[in-house]
Structure 1
Amino acid sequence: MAKKSKKEKPDGAGSKRIKKVEMIRRIVEFLSLDPQRSFNYKQVAHAVGAKTHPQKEMIVDILYDLAQDDVLKEVVTGKFRFISRGKIVIGTFQRKSNGKNQVITEDGGEPIFVAERNASRAMNGDKVEVMLFAKKKGFGPEGEVVNILESVPQVFVGVLEVQKTFAFLIVDNKVLANDIFIPIEKLKGGESGQKAVVRIIEWPQRAKNPIGEVVDILGFAGENDTEIHAILAEFGLPYKYPEQVDKAAEKIPTDITEEEIAKREDFRGVTTFTIDPKDAKDFDDALSFRKLPNGLYEVGVHIADVTHYVLPGSILDKEGYNRATSIYLVDRVVPMLPERLSNGLCSLRPNEEKLAFSAIFELDEHAEVKTSRVCRTVINSDRRFTYEEAQEIIETGKGDYQEEILTLNKLAKRLREKRFTAGAINFDRFEVKFDIDEKGKPIDVYFKMSKEANHLIEEFMLLANRTVAELIGKVPKGKKAKTFVYRVHDLPDPEKMANFAEFVHRFGYKLKTEGLQTDVSKSINKLLDQVQGTNEEDMIETIAIRAMAKAVYSTENIGHYGLAFPYYTHFTSPIRRYPDMMVHRLLERYLSAGRNVPQEKYEEMCKHCSDMEQLAASAERASIKYKQVEYLSDKLGQTFDGVISGVTEWGIYVEINVNKCEGMVPIRDLDDDYYEFDSKNYCLLGRRNKRIYRLGDPVTIQVARANLEKKQLDFMLLS
């Protein structure tokens, strides 16, 4: 029998070339599969395929070494058993302000609790190896970080305390329990009392505090610009434009050439207008309207042609992609693109020739779309309307372009009716707004509800988005759809819906959670109608939204549940959303018979845009919360009627009726009894007197404390 050549010899456990680290991995993997049994070295050697004498000797050494390190236990002489705490898993570290840190494992298992003493200085977002402890009865998994595989750069915002030869950053975000030590040469001229952005550069093993360097000075704490920039920096969002990006925007020529106009459909002579919030400057969309000789209505949804100016791979494009979205804070917009583009070149301002990417529809009186097309156009808007001005025309029947607006509104109402008949869900929530003085201080808080003028614009934008998605996504049988960017919304989680139905049942409402999608949607809409004007309205709407999945961007089209559209995308806001720019470019490519694009690359871009959208939403909420606290900070001792909007083990949250400001009544201040949290019924229950504080209950509160630094309001319960 011929001997195998060296080339033919497998590189497995029987190979002499095996490394010790690989042998350790195989041994731990084998023993961890059956931690209740003990094995001798011969059994282990056989299991991992070790055949040579040197390899068997190596296994003996490894077994004793692992026992010394408490990975294995020598049950009797020469027999070893795996200790459960020795199991190593990989995941992402999440640092929590309450010290209850956790690791989210890559395999999607239950989160692992990691106490601060076992965190090994791991920071939020770090990829780590965790050694599991032995499971305790009645507790979740717990472990210890044994290795940091990938460190994420860490930047914190806080207030500087400067000494003679060093400084500290007192961090705003209590996710980090320690202040940051800053050597004086890394201070960048910062002074005590100023807010700064600081990057951690090292955290020596025996040092109590991490060491950092100042990246940027934001200004003195309490100043409006300082605090707004601090909110953006806290979420890792940009608060200023790099100089070279602004310079690149300034170099773009303003003139539209006759050659460019010749390539496009000319809508300059068609009645066109925009309808936007009164403080808007970036006009993404315009509507054109005319009655055709065939009796149909032609409605043009004209969208700013941003990608004509922002070329793929340019410095403007890279900055736009990194930001992915404009951020709408209480007192300002942080635009995705420099203002010369967002408020100037691309903005569809009145009485200016503008380039657009348009969806053109012919509709009958019943809002049935007879034909549609998507094309590049040139337009000239005749009038800029605010929502309030358009609403007045709808209500009075009088004003500029009244015939066009009234007809568009009639068509929009029919489109809206069809949507809800098809199973769309009607979440019509209020928007918190502030009147701000010249120093940025809020002098009034109010909330706005959507009216018919808002719905008019919304319906035609939805129509355009749906039509564009269908144009690319719907393909003849036997053909494969091209890679595209969709806005998708998954079905609600059945367990969350069942819990929601059980919860609303306690208020006397019924909710259907099974059956056809339209049946469930109609049941949700019926519930939302029923709770209108009740104490529990906001709370039930909030819980309904939480039961829903989040809408995200994806190349995998699963449809949009909330809108009841099988195909949907974002095409109508390229000035403020990067996915819309992606859609414009893909449209141009495919309408010109261009080849398909790689799905994996675009899916990665979709995920980035979805993540940035969530960050921006968090920053927007933080800015609202800050201004609400600032608004109530000079109203300490005043009383307001409100409703219990949240119940937790540490207290109850109350939302004030007149201004929607929310604060907490700490459980320690409910001193008339010992209250226990009932998570299933969303309430606090008094042990002795059986008093119940439940979600939706009306209460009267007094403003007790307003902590601007923590963006926190404390209330005292009066009744």
Structure 2
Amino acid sequence: MSPQSRCIFLDLLFERISFQELAKRRDLRSHTICSVDPPGCTDIDDALHCRVLDNGNFEVGVHIADVSHFIRPNTAIDEEAAVRGTTVYLVDKRIDMVPGLLSSNLCSLRGNEERYAFSVIWEVTPEVEFVRTEAFKSIIKSSAALTYEQAQLKIDDPSLKDELTLGLRRLNMLAKRMRKKRAEAGETHDPVEVQVKKMLETNSMVEEWMLKANMTVAAMIYETFPECACLRRHPAPPVSSFEPVVKATNPRGFKIDVSSNKNLACSLDKAVVNENPYYNTMLRILTTRCMMQAVYFASGTIDYEEFYHYGLAAPIYTHFTSPIRRYADIIVHRLLAVTIGADSTYPGLTDKNRTQVICNNINYRHKMAQYAGRASVNLHTRMFFKGRVSEEDGYVLQIRKNALQVLVPKYGLEATLFLEGKQIDPKIIKFVYDESEPSQTCGSVKFSTFDKVVVQISIDESNVQREKLVLRLVHPKVPGFSVDPLPQKPK
């Protein structure tokens, strides 16, 4: 970085709210705005507000950290962020896309601190009809930085009547109605992670408003930049790719209709087994794995019909709501700023080929970040089980020719139970694989998808350089293959 660039960068980093900047922005510091995030979140991208208008409608605002104010095009920090593409989240740390002074401080929408934001405001009827939309640069002062659980406790406490709590209740009420409408349109739910997490209404509430903001901004930037808008699409998978899901649900008598995303969503909602609380979760995991990956792209490189986001049933979509951790959102912020006249364009922003090159890198970096996150989970899982044996309930997630893929909900863990190998004598133990069901059978014991099992989890430390997680079957009992249960600890 040149001395001149360094001086400009430092000036931006340590800038306080100035009269000049305030004159360019809408002052929303008097609004009751708050953020709702996971516990321990320090890179707070988004905040929300909802108030009642005189005509009985609601004003809802999504306020996003104005990262593009600090990261200007073609600077050293911009080039580094473009290369990184995304923040990488590991079990015990995160590798920021932008410096910590920005991600956790100046850009983060922390409670009771004035921050620059990019706001999208709607006027919404009680029937969730959107009658007015605005986007503009703003200055906000978040009233509180809440966790999902703290926000849920406020919503559920009837004794609380303060404006912050009332705003959360309005946001939640409208979000429920919006989600119902999207489900009717064919939304198939976002990809489900293997880890089983406790989901609160506030999780869904925030997600719903972020989706709405992303869809709104996508339409706005595409109208102004039909050739070079940075968008995100999710191609519809071929019907044949859902064959594993259809086969897996046949034994339970469920009919999974994959003719459209709406029919698929309805089918998944109905596929519930009372005695297996994880059945629907596992079914959605399998369904997600049958789908294609969502990707970023430049609008001028493909036809409009291919913009469609299958998983969200959205004709046009982008990412606007997480500029602290995604470079795509920074590009979208710059496009939106030009669209509303808040900033000027530059050559690279209007070059669709350049935008596509950036999108290709972001897609690659996003995939690598996912791999790194999973590898981090696997490493810490091995560290956790090192030197111990744990006996847990599991569920068969997938039947393979030589193994069962087992989900252990207690740890959000997916591991392989091998049915063949050096330790298994095929003359004594013979598993028969039936691809049509699919199933694995040994004597009188049959394993089908979603069956409950009991497994022992341990670490094979025989090779220090290649320690691996090992599953052993406890129940059902397969003579010569299953192991004895662990001794019961005295109470």
**Pairwise TM-score range, normalised by the shorter structure:** 0.7 to 0.9
Q: Is the 8 A contact 1:702 1:717 kept in 2?
A: yes
Is 2:483 aligned against 1:714? no
Which residue of 1 is the match for residue 267 of structure 2? 523
**Whole-Å separation in 2 of the counterparts to 1:711 and 1:299:** 52
- Which deviates more from structure 2 when the two are superposed, residues 389-398 or residues 331-340? 389-398
Cα drift, residue 607 of structure 1 = 1.4
Cα distance change of structure 1 residues 512 and 298 upon mapping to structure 2, 3 Å threshold: same
Q: Is the 8 A contact 1:625 1:711 kept in 2?
A: no
Is 2:102 aligned against 1:341? yes
Which of residues 451, 455, 473 in structure 2 aligns to 1:697?
451
Cα drift, residue 521 of structure 1 = 3.5
Which residue of 1 is the match for residue 370 of structure 2? 617
Q: Is the 8 A contact 1:531 1:537 kept in 2?
A: no
Cα drift, residue 522 of structure 1 = 2.5
Please state whether the residue corresponding to 1:361 is helix, strand or coil: strand
Is 2:325 aligned against 1:562? no
Cα distance change of structure 1 residues 582 and 535 upon mapping to structure 2, 3 Å threshold: closer
**Whole-Å separation in 2 of the counterparts to 1:610 and 1:430:** 19
Question: How many aligned residue pairs are there?
Answer: 452
Which residue of 2 is the match for residue 217 of structure 1? none
Question: What letter corresponds to residue 521 of structure 1 in structure 2?
Answer: A
- Which deviates more from structure 2 when the two are superposed, residues 317-326 or residues 590-599? 590-599
Which residue of 2 is the match for residue 149 of structure 1? none
Which residue of 2 is the match for residue 387 of structure 1? 148
- Which deviates more from structure 2 when the two are superposed, residues 650-659 or residues 314-323? 650-659
By relative contact order (CA 8 Å, sep 6+), the higher-ranking structure is: 2
Cα distance change of structure 1 residues 643 and 503 upon mapping to structure 2, 3 Å threshold: closer
Cα distance change of structure 1 residues 538 and 414 upon mapping to structure 2, 3 Å threshold: closer
**Whole-Å separation in 1 of the counterparts to 2:405 and 2:242:** 23
Which of residues 643, 647, 652 in structure 1 aligns to 2:395?
643
Cα drift, residue 582 of structure 1 = 0.6
Where in structure 2 are the equivalents of 1:51-66 lying within 5 Å? none
Which residue of 1 is the match for residue 415 of structure 2? 663
Which residue of 2 is the match for residue 466 of structure 1? 215
Is 2:66 aligned against 1:323? no
Cα drift, residue 390 of structure 1 = 0.3
Cα distance change of structure 1 residues 495 and 418 upon mapping to structure 2, 3 Å threshold: same
**Whole-Å separation in 1 of the counterparts to 2:31 and 2:197:** 32
**Whole-Å separation in 1 of the counterparts to 2:9 and 2:467:** 36
Instruction: Quote the sequence identity (%).
Output: 31
Which residue of 1 is the match for residue 331 of structure 2? 582
Question: What letter corresponds to residue 76 of structure 2 in structure 1?
Answer: I
Q: Is the 8 A contact 1:431 1:449 kept in 2?
A: no
Cα drift, residue 532 of structure 1 = 8.8
Where in structure 2 are the equivalents of 1:185-200 lying within 5 Å? none
Instruction: Encode CA deviations 1:349-377: one digit per residue, 9 max, x unaligned.
Output: 12221111110111121222110111111
Which residue of 2 is the match for residue 512 of structure 1? 257
Cα drift, residue 699 of structure 1 = 1.6
Please state whether the residue corresponding to 1:718 is helix, strand or coil: strand
Q: Is the 8 A contact 2:406 2:417 kept in 1?
A: yes
Please state whether the residue corresponding to 1:260 is helix, strand or coil: helix
Cα distance change of structure 1 residues 508 and 531 upon mapping to structure 2, 3 Å threshold: farther
Instruction: Encode CA deviations 1:391-418: one digit per residue, 9 max, x unaligned.
Output: 1112223445221111111111111111
Cα distance change of structure 1 residues 662 and 306 upon mapping to structure 2, 3 Å threshold: same
Question: What letter corresponds to residue 266 of structure 2 in structure 1?
Answer: K
Cα drift, residue 316 of structure 1 = 0.8
Cα distance change of structure 1 residues 313 and 677 upon mapping to structure 2, 3 Å threshold: farther
Query: What's the RMSD between the two structures over aligned residues?
Result: 2.7
Which residue of 2 is the match for residue 292 of structure 1? 53
Instruction: Encode CA deviations 1:426-480: one digit per residue, 9 max, x unaligned.
Output: 3584674xxxxxxxxxxxxxx42221111111111111111111123358xxxx8
Instruction: Encode CA deviations 1:275-325: one digit per residue, 9 max, x unaligned.
Output: 111110011011123222232211111100001100111111111111111
Which residue of 2 is the match for residue 503 of structure 1? 248
Q: Is the 8 A contact 1:249 1:338 kept in 2?
A: no
Where in structure 2 are the equivalents of 1:266-281 lying within 5 Å? 266-281=27-42
Which residue of 2 is the match for residue 54 of structure 1? none
**Whole-Å separation in 1 of the counterparts to 2:359 and 2:255:** 37
Is 2:439 aligned against 1:683? yes
Cα distance change of structure 1 residues 714 and 520 upon mapping to structure 2, 3 Å threshold: closer
**Whole-Å separation in 2 of the counterparts to 1:265 and 1:460:** 21
Q: Is the 8 A contact 1:289 1:299 kept in 2?
A: yes
Cα distance change of structure 1 residues 539 and 458 upon mapping to structure 2, 3 Å threshold: closer
Which residue of 2 is the match for residue 33 of structure 1? none
Cα distance change of structure 1 residues 619 and 511 upon mapping to structure 2, 3 Å threshold: same
Cα drift, residue 643 of structure 1 = 1.7
Q: Is the 8 A contact 2:227 2:298 kept in 1?
A: no
Where in structure 2 are the equivalents of 1:79-478 lying within 5 Å? 252-399=13-160, 401-427=164-190, 429=192, 432=195, 447-474=196-223
**Whole-Å separation in 2 of the counterparts to 1:609 and 1:306:** 17
- Which deviates more from structure 2 when the two are superposed, residues 264-273 or residues 556-565? 556-565
Cα drift, residue 712 of structure 1 = 2.8
Instruction: Encode CA deviations 1:163-190: one digit per residue, 9 max, x unaligned.
Output: xxxxxxxxxxxxxxxxxxxxxxxxxxxx
Between Structure 1 and Structure 2, which shows a larger proportion of helix residues? Answer: 2
Cα distance change of structure 1 residues 507 and 246 upon mapping to structure 2, 3 Å threshold: farther
Segments of structure 1 that go 5 or more residues without pairing to the other structure are 1-244, 433-446
Question: What letter corresponds to residue 320 of structure 2 in structure 1?
Answer: F
Please state whether the residue corresponding to 2:410 is helix, strand or coil: coil
Q: Is the 8 A contact 1:354 1:378 kept in 2?
A: yes
Cα distance change of structure 1 residues 455 and 249 upon mapping to structure 2, 3 Å threshold: farther
Which residue of 1 is the match for residue 382 of structure 2? 629
**Whole-Å separation in 2 of the counterparts to 1:499 and 1:714:** 25
Q: Is the 8 A contact 1:426 1:525 kept in 2?
A: no
Q: Is the 8 A contact 2:191 2:288 kept in 1?
A: no
Q: Is the 8 A contact 2:59 2:122 kept in 1?
A: yes
Cα distance change of structure 1 residues 385 and 358 upon mapping to structure 2, 3 Å threshold: same
Instruction: Encode CA deviations 1:51-73: one digit per residue, 9 max, x unaligned.
Output: xxxxxxxxxxxxxxxxxxxxxxx
Between Structure 1 and Structure 2, which shows a larger proportion of strand residues? Answer: 1
Question: What letter corresponds to residue 716 of structure 1 in structure 2?
Answer: R
Q: Is the 8 A contact 1:429 1:449 kept in 2?
A: no
Taking structure 2 as the reference length, the TM-score comes to 0.85
Segments of structure 2 that go 5 or more residues without pairing to the other structure are 476-491
Cα drift, residue 711 of structure 1 = 6.4
Instruction: Encode CA deviations 1:258-284: one digit per residue, 9 max, x unaligned.
Output: 101101111111111111111100110
Q: Is the 8 A contact 1:663 1:712 kept in 2?
A: no
Cα distance change of structure 1 residues 641 and 360 upon mapping to structure 2, 3 Å threshold: same
Cα drift, residue 513 of structure 1 = 2.4
Please state whether the residue corresponding to 2:313 is helix, strand or coil: coil
Cα distance change of structure 1 residues 502 and 587 upon mapping to structure 2, 3 Å threshold: same
Instruction: Encode CA deviations 1:603-631: one digit per residue, 9 max, x unaligned.
Output: 12111111111110111111112222222
Question: What letter corresponds to residue 617 of structure 1 in structure 2?
Answer: Q
Instruction: Encode CA deviations 1:92-144: one digit per residue, 9 max, x unaligned.
Output: xxxxxxxxxxxxxxxxxxxxxxxxxxxxxxxxxxxxxxxxxxxxxxxxxxxxx
**Whole-Å separation in 2 of the counterparts to 1:473 and 1:350:** 33
Task: Indicate the structure (1 or 2) with the bigger Cα radius of gyration.
Answer: 1
Question: What letter corresponds to residue 701 of structure 1 in structure 2?
Answer: V
